[in-house]
Amino acid sequence: GMDPLRPTAELRRRVLLSAAREPRLARFGASVADLIDRPVSDALAYLGRLDLPGAWRSGPFEGMERMDVDAGPARADSVVGFLRMWAGTTFPRHRHDGDEAILVLQGVCLTDTGQVVRSGEVLRAASGTTHTVRASEAGELWLLTVNTHGVTLPGLGPGGTDLRLTAEAPRI
């Protein structure tokens, strides 16, 4: 048979270094950990997964993908997850049934109330308020969303009824 090729010391060093590299979004580790009520190591694992093929699931609306998060006990009554929105897409008007926190990981987030939220910034919305969230035309928008007590989407349920997303029923 053939003798296996042995990598050079330099190639071996480069491969090991690249394998140990922090996720691209690692700078958000502490903020994500706080928002999802999990250790930083768990937050970094989620952040590392965001760049992997097949990590995202389609929805909740056209032009969006999501990754669900198994948040800690302090977020048991919250809808928590990562959301990826194509450039120019809008998450429809929704009412906050509790406080909302959105951490922008990548891109620019625009609300219909005139707020502009950039990477590293947190958009907060109080219980009872409504808004839409739009990805700028410049590129994809990646968010971590935490909705205490969930959200209500007026008129988007069956027959034009209100649709509620809660920790028990967080999916559309």
Q: Give the largest CA-CA distance in the chain.
A: 71
143 near 79, Cβ under 8 Å? Answer: no
Question: What is the structure's pLDDT at 170?
Answer: 62
Structure confidence by residue, pLDDT tens digits, 80-109: 999 999 999 999 999 999 999 999 999 999
Question: What is the structure's pLDDT at 168?
Answer: 81
Query: Angle CA(45)–CA(46)–CA(48) in degrees, nearest 5?
Result: 65
For the chain, which residues score pLDDT lower than 50? none
Question: What is the structure's pLDDT at 19?
Answer: 56
Alpha carbon distances (Å) from 67 to 9, 95, 118: 38, 22, 20
Give me the phi and psi of 32, to 5 degrees please. Answer: -65, -45
Question: What is the structure's pLDDT at 53?
Answer: 87
User: From the CB of residue 169, how many other CB atoms can be counted at a distance below 10 Å?
Assistant: 11
pTM (predicted TM-score): 0.85
Three-state secondary structure call for residue 83: strand
Alpha helices per DSSP H over 82-164: none
Helices 29-36 + 40-49 axis angle, to 10: 110
Question: What is the structure's pLDDT at 113?
Answer: 93
